[in-house]
Structure 1
Amino acid sequence: MRRFRAPLAALLLLPLLAACGGTSAPQEEPAGSPAKGGSLVFGVNTEPLNLDPHASPQDVTGLFTRPVLDSLVALDDKGDIHPWLASSWEISDDGLTYTFKLRTGVKFSDGTPFDAAAVKTNLDHIVDPATKSQLAAAAFGPYEKSTVVDPQTIEVKFKEAYSPFLAALATAYFGIQSPKQLALGPEALAKKVVGTGPFVIDAFVPHQGITYHRNPDYDWAPAIAKHTGPAYLERLEFKVIVEDAVRLGALTSGQIDAIAGVPPVNVKQVEANPKLTIIRKQAPGGNYNYYPNNEKGVFTDQKVRQAFRDGIDFATVVDKLYFGAFDPAFSAISPATAGYDKATETQWKYDPEGAARLLDEADWSAKDAEGYRTKDGQRLTVRWPFLKALAREQRGTLAEQVQAEAKKAGFDIQFVDVTPNDFTPKALAGDYDLIDFSWQRADGDALRNLFAISNIPNPNFFGQNLARWNDPEVDGWLTDALRTTDLAERAALYAKVQQKANADASIVPVYVFTYLLGASKNVQDITFEPQAFPTFYDAWVSKA
């Protein structure tokens, strides 16, 4: 057995977020110690449909639940793993068994004791088919079972070696919830989660926001935090403000303290304001990508997929729409993800003439009166279920611009308006030609979530392989990466996956998401967790 009391350096292939992420704009640090008390209001541009991070398909759920939920381990900016609710752990030599020793004296905010039984209840909840877990279950790999050894010791066993486990465990999607609250069922969990964290939820009102109050008993922050004991803030509020102009106006007028998603067009305006600052953080994991359906429809033909990608000048569209705030993407994963292959940046390019030749070769050589390509009298139509209700970062505007550029290349993009309720059935059934999403995850294993055959969605499982790319060779590389802790070996395997995804045009990389957080200079010490979402345990507001 190998024992770790952390930091656990170089065990996992993890992003060097400090080097690859963004930089913070200079801030005027107020004199004196952090102020205790007060409140912070944070304007957000989207919200989760379900607060239970074990079940939710949305990565933003991690933002809303991290103030409440602690994890067994913590991940720092250098990729090291540290104790949190677990004080230490051992990994068997074959990599199949993880044994965690848990902190003592910890309790959930509802008074329920934190112990090994509570951890087992949480892990079992994630894999329970009734939970219909999406993000969490997909990151759990070949999990087999959990066993309570004694009240402060739990053993987690895998069917196969799974080296990304600790990195996944550090995310809010594996946040430990009160067994008492879990027992209330999915409807209750969708509205409220209860954890051991520094804040406690007061109320979650859909389309309005969520309020929290400080947990006065909190005294088990990880060592990477800037302080110990309860949070500085007495009250924290996330206010849902979808409209960019309204959210920005609330910040500049001083109505709220910080906002997510500063509109790229307004970044320089905010930076020029002596009372405000911009904090940047490039997100790890899957970029904002378009996923053509490789399984059925027009995009089963690799030449058609490549023609769609190469026939649209994505880099220029992204640069103009986002004023350079977001970088164009060239791979499925972002440069902030360890294992990112820089060679992908020159692997493909905008090539309208080449795209036209590919469509000719694929027998889409004829054109109708409107200029769209046709074959056997049928137009080259792309059905795209676009979820407007949850679109952020002007993705709707981006989609319309892509639609216009695609028309020049001969593609007829038809948006299918869907609600959150009917989007999922379409995704599970593969009832689409193109679909879009981003997915932040602090590990190169994000590629397995995006491309493993086992992650192709089906009626019983919402996997992230919405490209429905079925490639046994790629599957083998991804499996090999799970079985080794050698960083160079894993990087080489992940490079192969990225290069083949580009060669096959199995996906269309669009842009690299960078978190643009605008804040009053009175707000201090907002930090970021591994998924590049802001956290507020160390945050405080100057009374100056």
Structure 2
Amino acid sequence: MKSIIKRKTMCIAGLLVLFALLCAGMQMAMAAEQTLTMSIGGRASFGTDPTLDSAIWPDIGGLQEHHHYTHFSPLITLDSNSNIIPWMAEAYEVSDDYKTITFHLRKGVKFADGTPLNASILKFNFDRVEMYGMEDFGKNRTKQNLFLYYGSSEAPDEYTFKIHFTTGWVDMPFELALNSVYGLSAFISPQDVNPVWDIKGMLKPEKKYNGLGAYYVEENESTPKEKVVLKKRNSWRDDLSFHKPVLDKIVLTYIADPQTAVMALEKGDIDFICRGWNAPLDTLPNLEKNPDVIIKTGSEVRTYFLNVAHWKEPFNGTDGILLRKAICYALNRTDLSEGAFSGYALPATDCMDQSPKRPDVPECCGKGYDYDLDKAKQLLAEAGWNDTDGDGILDKNGKALKNLDFVTTSDPSLSWQRDLSVLVQSQLKRIGIDAKIRTLEWGDYKKNTNEGGFDLKIGYNMGNGIALSNDLNGYNLKSRRGSKVNLYENQNGTLEKITDITQKTANKEERDKCMCQICNILYEEAGVIPLVHPAMYAVMNRKVNGFELGPSETFYYLDHVDECRVEN
């Protein structure tokens, strides 16, 4: 009897141990699941076709944030230092005239349903996007070279893909490495459209997530315009051990207001703030004190600058150049960096537009203006500006440098303009220039600046987030996009012509020569007034590990957050 009881007791004990081990195993499995919740500020719908323009097909077309995870898989891309690196192509070559680029594809790349990728599928996608799905957007609305000069594509064999352009230009490979926003990196299978292999065919609803990405949208857990839940699936990146995704689940949470996103991070509701809708600069000092928050930083090559109405008084003509130079010398950019950016910026005294730290900018562009208040006052006097009535405001011929219209925007993503404009305003006051800040909603701001409705405004370039030649668009906006004013144009109009050559040449030496001419004109005439180089930063919960900043905030999806780890 005792032996029976003993055996029963041992069985029960064994079952309890087994149960405990099972529970522990389940807990470990649950703990091991890698989930990241990230705030985004837009495009929180799902199920659209990334190869179709949302302006023409508003219900079924358009790139959404989830496409960066379900479909995004470029042929070539950029590393964190803006160097071009292979992705789906294991190698590529560019012809001497920059009219043809040849890709050699990796073997083993396949769609989620197992369909192997080949050159013919890429030809289908490029023809579809360039000549149908995004044609109006690329050719007419944004006038992108990748669309304007697209000639044809070909598939000589299964793993060789060629693109031919009617005109070659030096930045062509760089632009291809960046252009997921135009559907050129979010490919679909030609078997998934109806009729099949028709570049004008419509994507079958049941195939909307059949991309080359490592995730799919779990619609049962997602809510349009509120939350998109992405779950990991086996992908070619796992099979080839190529940038293997780590996260099992990514939750994209729509939070329109950046300040609200910061509060959600502090409360623990989200783990990461997407850099496309980053935490405002003025929140960083408090976030630095939060032990649960990490701010990852990196150097940036963007430039923020002051634009003036160079086409009208008091900024036009020879005296206008002197006035602009005086402003260049009068601004203490160190104070601007520390005061408006809490140290998350560097003084832009080393250039006029493009930072010389950008790898494709020639050394000749490394000229700028240092802080020299006496030199500023000397130039103002040379231009005939004096304080004749003792009111602290300079005047000339009965006209005062008073009530200059300083236009800024209230757009939350550009909140740094508020503090920067106030500091610039106070520094201008010290040399007798009175500017009145006028803050506009984004739509009105854009209209005013495009039509020249300002005396002063703050502008910025895109740095590594755009090809060098495209980042010069501001100097030929009138001829290229029909705008009423250029960012700056010199009196003989050579700047606009040189910029046009820079954007079209297939000769790097000629491009660099033109860049030197552009930088020299801007320096000699103070065409724009550089202020600071903002730092890159990303804000996240401390439990997020392995994050590395991509080359630019503009193309935040190159941060590859799916390769991060989350500690529970």
TM-score, scaled relative to structure 2: 0.69
* Matched residue type, 2:563: D
Which protein shows a greater Rg?
2
RMSD: 4.8
Q: Which moved more, 1:66-75 or 1:142-151?
A: 142-151
The Cα of 1:65 is off from its aligned counterpart by 6.5
Query: Paired residue for 2:123?
Result: 116
Query: Paired residue for 2:443?
Result: 421
The 5-angstrom pairing of residues 344-493 of structure 1 reads 347-365=368-386, 371-380=392-401, 381-392=403-414, 394-442=416-464, 445-446=467-468, 449-450=471-472, 453-456=475-478, 460=482, 466-468=487-489, 472=494, 476=498, 479=501, 482-485=505-508
Report if aligned partners of 1:106, 1:220 keep a CA contact under 8 Å in 2: no
SS of aligned partner of 1:414: strand
Cα distance between partner residues in 2 of 1:64 and 1:376: 60
Aligned residues: 489
* Matched residue type, 1:143: Y
The Cα of 1:257 is off from its aligned counterpart by 1.1
> What are the superposed Cα offsets for residues 37-70 of structure 1, whole Å, 9 maximum, x if unpaired?
44322346x65899989999xxxx9988644533
Compare relative contact order (CA 8 Å, sep 6+) and give the higher one, 1 or 2. Answer: 1
Query: Paired residue for 1:176?
Result: 185
Cα distance between partner residues in 1 of 2:67 and 2:306: 27
* Matched residue type, 1:323: S
Q: Does 1:306 align with 2:325?
A: yes
* Matched residue type, 1:166: P
Cα distance between partner residues in 2 of 1:359 and 1:63: 50
Cα distance between partner residues in 2 of 1:107 and 1:242: 36
Cα distance between partner residues in 2 of 1:62 and 1:408: 48
Query: Paired residue for 2:172?
Result: 165
The Cα of 1:200 is off from its aligned counterpart by 5.5
SS of aligned partner of 1:289: strand
The 5-angstrom pairing of residues 293-332 of structure 1 reads 293-300=309-316, 301-330=320-349, 331=351, 332=353
Cα distance between partner residues in 2 of 1:64 and 1:438: 28
Note closer, same or farther for the CA distance 1:427–1:530 as it changes in structure 2 (3 Å cut): same
Report if aligned partners of 2:75, 2:88 keep a CA contact under 8 Å in 1: yes
Q: Which blocks of at least 5 consecutive residues in structure 1 are unaligned?
A: 1-31, 186-191
Query: Paired residue for 2:151?
Result: 145
SS of aligned partner of 1:510: strand
Query: Paired residue for 2:58?
Result: none
Query: Paired residue for 1:253?
Result: 267
SS of aligned partner of 2:96: coil
Q: Does 1:128 align with 2:151?
A: no
Q: Does 1:234 align with 2:242?
A: no
Cα distance between partner residues in 1 of 2:297 and 2:201: 38
* Matched residue type, 1:433: D
The Cα of 1:271 is off from its aligned counterpart by 5.2
TM-score, scaled relative to structure 1: 0.72
The 5-angstrom pairing of residues 219-298 of structure 1 reads 219-220=236-237, 226-227=243-244, 232-240=247-255, 242=257, 244=259, 246-259=260-273, 260=275, 261=278, 270=287, 273-284=290-301, 286-298=302-314
> What are the superposed Cα offsets for residues 431-480 of structure 1, whole Å, 9 maximum, x if unpaired?
333333333343895265326754447764699x6335675268548846
SS of aligned partner of 1:93: coil
SS of aligned partner of 2:354: coil
The Cα of 1:357 is off from its aligned counterpart by 3.1
Cα distance between partner residues in 2 of 1:282 and 1:55: 34
* Matched residue type, 2:228: T
The 5-angstrom pairing of residues 200-211 of structure 1 reads 211=228
Which of 532, 547, 550 pairs up with 1:529?
A: 550
Query: Paired residue for 1:23?
Result: none
SS of aligned partner of 1:446: coil
The Cα of 1:493 is off from its aligned counterpart by 6.0
The Cα of 1:382 is off from its aligned counterpart by 3.5
| Percent of matched pairs sharing the same residue | 17
Q: Which blocks of at least 5 consecutive residues in structure 2 are unaligned?
A: 1-27, 55-62, 203-207
* Matched residue type, 2:420: L
